[in-house]
Amino acid sequence: MKLRLKGNSIRVRLDRRDIEGLIDRGRIEDAVRFGPCLAFSYAVELGSAPRERPWATYADGRLTIRIDPEDAEAWRASERVGFDHQQAVDGGVIRVLLEKDFACIDRAVGEEADDAYAFPNPSAVCSAAADLETRAPSEERR
């Protein structure tokens, strides 16, 4: 599970193993530990949430994003990339994105394990096909 915070947006990316764990156990969680007694934790869990709209809450140092169980099951079985929701909060809006984590096209040497459970990147397939289409016929024969 990867977490990105920027301004008033929360983006969580889940690989295949994360989505399977979410559906099998109802929750996945990770944390950044600042010592033995202090941590910032974040979780995605199945639960009460509006359909098609992941819902974020924050309490006691824990960020939790809930997704409707039927949405999660359908998401696992589909090509859908994710969910993007503008959640109203006291005095503003938080953008909540929950996405499948795709393999990087240009992964740095030594970081290949990070993509071990990532979804295949559709752009990698499209890029290769587009590259073949743009080559001159003489280049294809090489």
| Listed range (6-10, 80-84, 113-117, 129-133) with the worst mean pLDDT | 129-133
Has residue 108 been placed in a domain? no
| pLDDT for the residue 138 | 42
Asked, for residue 120, whether it belongs to a domain, the answer is no
Type of residue at 10 = I
Q: What total of structural domains would you count in the chain? A: 1
Is residue 66 assigned to a domain? yes
Q: Is the pLDDT of residue 56 over 90?
A: yes
Residue 128 vs residues 86, 125, 132: alpha-carbon distances, Å: 35, 5, 6
- Could you read off the pLDDT of 10-47 as tens digits, one per residue? 999 999 999 999 999 999 999 999 999 999 999 999 99
What is the pLDDT confidence band of residue 102, given thresholds at 50, 70 and 90? confident
Domain that residue 45 falls in? 2-101
111 CB contacts (<8 Å, ≥6 apart)?
Answer: 104
Average per-residue pLDDT for the chain: 82
Q: Is residue 106 part of a domain?
A: no
Flag whether 54 is in a domain.
yes
Task: Report whether pLDDT(131) > 80.
Answer: no
Domain membership flag for residue 32 = yes
Average pLDDT over every residue of 93-101: 95
Instruction: Say yes or no to pLDDT of 140 above 50.
Output: no
Q: Distance between CA 15 and CA 99 in Å, rounded?
A: 9
Residue 138 lies in a domain: no
Domain membership flag for residue 85: yes
DSSP-based three-state secondary structure for 21: helix
Report the percentage of the chain scoring pLDDT > 70: 72
